[in-house]
Amino acid sequence: MNIYEYANILLNGSSLEDKLLPAQDISFEGSSTSFKVKSVPGRSDKLALSTKQIKFPKISTFHLEDRRGLALHFFANHELLAIEMMAAAILKLSAADTKENQLIQKGLLKTIADEQKHLKLYLNRMKEFKVEFGDYPLNDFFWRQMGDIEDYGAFFSTMALTFEQANLDFAEFYAKVFDEVGDEKSSRIMNIVLEDEISHVAFGRIWSNLWKKDQSLWDYYKTHLPGNLTPARAKGIILNVEARKLAGLDEDFIAQIEGYRDDYTLTNRKSWDKD
């Protein structure tokens, strides 16, 4: 199977088995021209993306198993969306240099394998809370950004340097929240996710640094971020500076992220912490 056939299964397949298909004996030959990135990824009716909004559970309710299950349901959808968006990137985008393109694709396959691992961890833990994937509406916000992504610069700015960077904060924060209510198993999952996210952010940082030329990473990032996203989305309830340093983000970039404010304020996210 070539990488485009594999990406097509991940993106347009409808079952969880399709989404979790491991990359085995993948070749980097062939072309993506026979495959389409549709307006929505393929999903069964139970897993279909929805515009319905449900609130993330307040941490004051995390002593309840069903609330922890709902939180993991949110996280599982983010992992599935990441798999689908990376598959879409393989089908939709191409670096000008053939060798560069193949290196990016190999990196994406490794990242997809991590996201599949995370998704399985979440799904298994959710079952222990008697929550099935699709029991709640599945938000489409991440996926909607793919329509504005036309090159790998924009993709890495969106995925690695925004969504995955923010998860450095969320994973650390919720690992502690789960631990505080005695849920060591869920806390361990969040720490696994955090460790992997550091490498994912680093992956996007490496390519962005290669392409930025004489720009700062911050300026390159802002230039390539799609218009409906802002750097406020690149951080969470707390700021995990150490994880950002481990991902190789420079001090200026981290300071710019920490100080960034707009209409999408951190205050909104901190409200999740309230009773």
Q: Give the CATH number of the domain where residue 185 resides.
A: 1.20.1260.10
Tell whether 206 is covered by a domain.
yes
Q: What per-residue confidence (pLDDT) applies to 199?
A: 99
Tell whether 160 is covered by a domain.
yes
- Give 159-215 pLDDT, tens digit per residue: 999 999 999 999 999 999 999 999 999 999 999 999 999 999 999 999 999 999 999
Tell whether 22 is covered by a domain.
no
Whether pLDDT at 228 is above 50: yes
Q: Could you write out the DSSP letters of every residue in 44-86?
A: -GGG-EE----PPPPGGGTTSHHHHHHHHHHHHHHHHHHHHHH
Please give the residue range of the domain that contains residue 118: 62-273
Tell whether 198 is covered by a domain.
yes
d(CA 261, CA 270): 14
Overall number of domains in the chain = 1
Tell whether 3 is covered by a domain.
no
Mean pLDDT rounded to a whole number for the chain: 94
Q: Which residues, 6 or more positions from 169, have their beta carbon under 8 angstroms from its beta carbon? A: 235, 236, 237, 238, 239, 240
Tell whether 230 is covered by a domain.
yes
Tell whether 35 is covered by a domain.
no
Q: Which residues, 6 or more positions from 166, have their beta carbon under 8 angstroms from its beta carbon? A: 233, 234, 235, 236
Rounded-to-5 percentages of helix, strand, coil across the chain:
65, 0, 35
Percent of the chain with pLDDT over 70: 95
Tell whether 39 is covered by a domain.
no
Q: What per-residue confidence (pLDDT) applies to 266?
A: 44
Question: Quick count: other Cβ atoms within 10 Å of Cβ 236?
Answer: 21
- Give 65-118 pLDDT, tens digit per residue: 999 999 999 999 999 999 999 999 999 999 888 899 999 999 999 999 999 999
d(CA 67, CA 126): 10
